[in-house]
Amino acid sequence: MNQEMPNLLKQRAELTPKRLAIKANNEEVTFEQLYKRVQQRATILSKHGIRENQHIAILMRNSVEMIETIHAVIALGAVAVMLNVRLSEQELAWQIDDVEAEYIICNREFQKNVKVYKTIVCEDLFIHHVEEILPSLSQVSFYHDKVATIMYTSGTTGNPKGVMQTYGNHWSSAISSALNLGLQVNDRWLLSVPLFHISGLSILMRSVIYGIGVVLHERFDAAKMNQAIMRDGVTIVSVVTTMLKQMIEQLEKERYPESFRCMLVGGGPVPEKYLLECQEKGIPVYQSYGMTETASQVVTLTPEDSLVKIGSAGKPLFLNQIKIMKNGQECQPNEEGEIFVKGPTITKGYWKKEEATNKAIKNGWLQTGDQGYVDEDGFLYVLDRRSDLIISGGENVYPAQIESVLLTHPNISDAGVIGVKDEKWGQSPHAFVVLKESVEIDEIRAFCQEKLAAYKVPKYYTIVDELPRNASNKLLRRKLKDLIKDNHDVEN
């Protein structure tokens, strides 16, 4: 039985036509208007030759047009392949070839990067001039098991793989999130993370399923984010740690309005320093844990636990289960191991990578590659990406923990840690720091020695202007490794 659901946007437009769907710059679009534009766009795309089940790549910046394009592609029954606009020509070509995309729909500025492929430039589609709309083109129903989108893993490790996300994945993710965070008719979700990442796309899906508005920003800007929370009726925001940090700093002594009810933080553990700062400012922080393969968050800290279990990513969402495995055995509470996740948000697999799929998903359990533990009350603590784990003298050293300590130093504004080869210990931590004010390396070392076990204290230090991050602002530790390849051997 392949369960059916209505065409999400069509149903939403019929149920609550006048509600705000998107607010972007000075434009406000209702669900009714959005649906009409999507029908227009689908009609044009159909005339360009886009058909059901084709893979259609989208290479665009966050914009109302991008949202319309995504909806139009899936309305036609095609699969939307979400491409990262920061990728190089070669990287794009790799993904486009791998996914066998029929067309690339792109902003004009990106056309040069995909010039060898069949492209449709979004700016050339004058949808408001379409007179004849072909509503029969739109799928009346979506099916749980059908692939809606493909997204390549951010590539912090290995070659990117195309993660297939079904309608059932997106639906279950939105529902699980609502059961945890609640849902109010007046909710508005601020979207400044890229729509081509699951963090952004999942907000779009929620908007349509919940019938709530998205306040859309093209890119992250701390001041504009704070402004939107202050003035645009935003109740929920999705960010990653570095964004949160900049927003708090920019906020200074101001406070968010009472109606702002959720700062959802993903993409890695939040250092305690920021959590405490948010507590002071009355900002309701919900840490979460998720990935492209789980169609966004699968573990989130519930309201009543957010101040009790600082540092935890929380408990699974209602439809999800987690377990910690080590050497093929399920771990005891508080025992460290690898995090496994189960539930209807788990991807049906990697596009044309059966072996990788079978290795990653067994009996419905996804092996995340991340390290962590679950405490005696069932709360997950994410320690680190396994690939970033530093093993020093047989001890596991988690870069995130060291970074968290470095960030408590008053002169340090950002920090990243990787493992480098060490004759004696196998590996040693190497720290990269961005400074607010000048400070001696020896002082930083002494600061770490005070707060960390000896084997965790970084042996090497590099001062940099900024840390390499991907479009989701996630730290790219492998790029840190590239930075120092000439200096000393790096484990890859």
- Beta carbons within 10 angstroms of residue 411's beta carbon: 14
Tell me the DSSP string of 39-97: HHHHHHHHHTT--TT-EEEEE--SSHHHHHHHHHHHHTTPEEEE--TTS-HHHHHHHHH
Q: Contact, 435 vs 490, CB < 8 A?
A: no
- For its own copies, give the closer residue by CB, 144 or 281: 144
**Are the CB atoms for 379 and 312 separated by under 8 Å?**
yes
CB of 250 to its own copies, least distance (A): 29
Q: Both tokens of residue 325?
A: 């495995």
Pairing verdict, β 147-152 and 79-82:
parallel
Find the shortest distance in angstroms from Cβ 254 to its own copies. Answer: 26
- Comparison of 20 and 44: residue with beta carbon closer to its own copies: 20
Q: Whole-number minimum distance, CB 185 to its own copies, in Å?
A: 5
- Could you tell me which stretch among 83-91, 278-286, 313-321, 436-444 binds its own copies (CB under 8 A)? 313-321
- Whole-angstrom distance, CA of residue 236 vs CA of residue 239: 10
Binding mask 373-412 for its own copies (x = CB under 8 A): -----x----------------------------------
By CB under 8 A, the count of residues binding its own copies is: 37
What are residue 215's phi and psi, to 5 degrees?
-95, 115
367 binds its own copies (CB under 8 A): no
Question: Does 302 participate in binding its own copies (rule CB under 8 A)?
Answer: yes
Alpha-carbon distance of 318 to 335, in angstroms, equals 23
Which range in 14-22, 35-43, 225-233, 421-429 contacts its own copies by CB under 8 A?
14-22
Backbone phi and psi for residue 362, each to the nearest 5 degrees, phi listed first: -125, 125
Q: Which is nearer to its own copies, 95 or 296 (CB)?
A: 296
Interface residues for its own copies in 179-218 (CB under 8 A)?
A: 179, 182-185, 209-211
**Among 91, 133, 272, 303, contact with its own copies (rule: CB under 8 A):** 303
- Kindly give the pairing relationship between strand 296-300 and strand 315-316: antiparallel
Q: Does 284 bind its own copies (CB under 8 A)?
A: no
Q: For binding to its own copies (CB under 8 A), which residues are involved? A: 1-6, 11-12, 14-16, 18-19, 144-145, 168, 175, 178-179, 182-185, 209-211, 302-304, 315-316, 318-319, 321, 344, 364, 378
